Structure formats: C-alpha cells, structure tokens
Amino acid sequence: MMTPQTLVRARNLNVKFVSRDATVHAVNGVDFDLAEREVLCILGESGSGKSVTLRAIMGLNPRAKTVMSGELKLCGEDVIAASEARMSALRGRQASMIFQEPMTALDPVFTIGRQIAETIVRHEGVSYKAAMARALELLELVQIPSAKRRLEAYPHELSGGLRQRAMIAIALSCRPKLLLADEPTTALDATVQIQILLLLRRLQQELGMGVIFVTHDLGVAGEIADRIAVMYAGRFVEEGPVRDVMRAPLHPYAQGLLGATVHAGLRGKRLTTIPGAPPDLRDLPTRCAFAPRCPMVENACRSAVPELRGPEPGRAARCIHVAQAAQAA
C-alpha cells in the first residue's frame, strides 16, 4: 500500500510582522504535518494566528513586513525560500484557498464564469472556450442551480450561499492537492452553513484532497475534521483526533471553548464564558499565555511556556495538568 503524501510540513514555524512601531509575533513555534485526504481543523479565537498560518502556507502575507523562520514545506517545496513567481505557480495547481467573505474575494466587475475560466487558462494553458466548459462543470459540481445561467452572473447577483459555492468552484478549478478554508461559513446562516460543510466534506472525499479548515466554532470542527489543533497566542495548545478533543479536551482553553459552545442541552442554563482577553502579541508572554485567564493556574504556569505533552501518540496539550485531565477523562 502506498504511503500518503505529506502535503504540508511545518517545524518550529514562526511568523512575525515587523513595522516601525512594533513587532507582532503572530505564529510562534508551530509544528504539524498534513497528509493527503486528511482534514485538519485549526480552532481558536480571533487573533490566535489561524488565518496567518494559512496565508503563510500560500505565501500571501505581505512580504515587505513579514519575517518567517523555521521550516514550512508545501508539497515538498520550501515556502519560506520560494520566490513570489514560484509561489504564484504553486497557487491554484498545488494549493487553493477559500476566503471568509466571498464578496471581497470575488472581483465585482467580472462574471463568475470569467473568473473561473481565467484561473484555468492561467494554470493549465487551455483555450478560453475549453476553460468556460470546465467552469460550467465546476458550477454543477458545487451544486449551483441553473449553472449555465450563473456563468454570466456577477457576484452581486448571487446570494451569500451561491457566492461561497462559486468561491469553492474557483478554488477547485485546477484540481489542487490541498484546499485551505479560512472560516468559509462564518458569514452564512445556519441552514446554508451546514449545506456548505457537507458539500466541502463530499468534495474532499471525492477528489482526494487534503484540507486545512480554520474556524472558531467547535460545532463546525466536529462536522468536517479528522484532527483538531487548538490555537492560542500563535501556538498550538492542544492537538488530537476530533472525537477525542470534542469528548474530553485536555487543555483548559479547549475546555473553555467547549463549555462556551451553544447546543440543545443548554436550554435554560447559563452559558460558560472564558474571562479576560487574549494576550497582546506585540509583547508575547514568556510564560503560559493562557495563565491570566486559566481557572487552574499555578506558580509553575507563570515561569515558562509549557511543552506539548500527552497521554498517547497524536494526542497532546501544552499544559502542566495534562496527566490530571487525561485521568479525569
């Protein structure tokens, strides 16, 4: 049996934004691998470094202000050392990205069909006519009704759900090995959200893609992920299979996120909240970044950044109470 290809490899990945006024430490020592056909969900609050990590993989962070270090490889290519021309060639063919708000990602002055066709012509060198035929197939693939008519529609003529499906069609246009999804369902209502999630999961399985899905919603993560990485202050603070993390989170931050998730069993009960606010990444703490908000904080938490540790391979958390939490589970 063939060993699955590693699509993304990150080792001690650091991303910081440097300006005259301050240095923002957005991603701090992140390690992970993503294999083909695997879905990894990166979970966390706004400002935790999730989107910056995705943009780093695609080479989309502003080059003039971004400093990256460590190791980051996309389908074997060194992203940190790659030129802009090389990254432009990799985008679309090897990896594609679905953005959070399609209305700002789509060009308002071109039709949906033209925007899909342009991507195919750019990367595959086929004729515009052949590219438009492929665009129609893609709109049908993502289940847009009256697909032929929608080819001539402009973004403002589509609903939010249809615009997001069009964004997925563009992302899939060159048959990428890796799909990056940056909170693609956040702006949609609950009914459309589940439709998009089911569509992404079906397409991922049919096309054999690897997927990295960014969200702050545990419910969304539970629907689509194989593995979860919980991110806080630019670091992964918990990793594991989706069922294990959802059933018995090891890190107090992951426990807080789970407790703050709305579900049917909470009717009539007070919603759990996480007190305080995330740290200022312009002044990254040299201790556990979650310590000021943690109900289990001890003096040891304030002395150094905890290492990732866990009860079994593939299951770990950045907390001194991991063994205690694993026993309680």
Q: What is the pLDDT of residues 273-286, one digit of tens each?
A: 888 999 999 998 88
Buried b (16+ CB within 10 A) or exposed e, 8-21: bbbeebbbbbeeee
Hey, which CATH number is domain 6-94+180-192+203-264+272-328, 3.40.50.300, 2.60.120.10, 3.40.50.720, 2.40.30.210?
A: 3.40.50.300
169 against 104, higher pLDDT? 169
CA distance 306 to 297: 12
Whole-number mean pLDDT of the chain? 90
Q: Which pLDDT does position 65 carry in this prediction? A: 95
CA distance 153 to 313: 50
Q: Which pLDDT does position 264 carry in this prediction? A: 59
Q: Which pLDDT does position 1 carry in this prediction? A: 43
* 327 pLDDT more than 90: no
User: CB–CB of 33/4 below 8 Å?
Assistant: no
* 266 pLDDT more than 70: no
Place of tokens 């299979």: 241
Count of beta carbons in the 10 Å neighbourhood of residue 243: 12
Distances (CA, A) of 131 to 126, 147, 169, 174, 183: 7, 15, 13, 10, 28
Q: Which pLDDT does position 258 carry in this prediction? A: 85
Question: Once rounded to an integer, what is the mean pLDDT over residues 209-224?
Answer: 88
Phi, psi of 172 (to 5 degrees): -90, 0
Buried b (16+ CB within 10 A) or exposed e, 250-277: bbbbbbbbbeebeeeeeeeeeeeebeee
The neighbouring-strand residues paired with 33 are 9
**62: number of CA atoms within 13 Å, CB side?**
5
Q: Which of 88, 94, 92, 89 is nearest to 74 (CA)?
A: 94
User: CB–CB of 42/50 below 8 Å?
Assistant: yes
CA distance 14 to 144: 39
* 261 pLDDT more than 70: yes
Q: Where are the domains of the chain?
A: 6-94+180-192+203-264+272-328
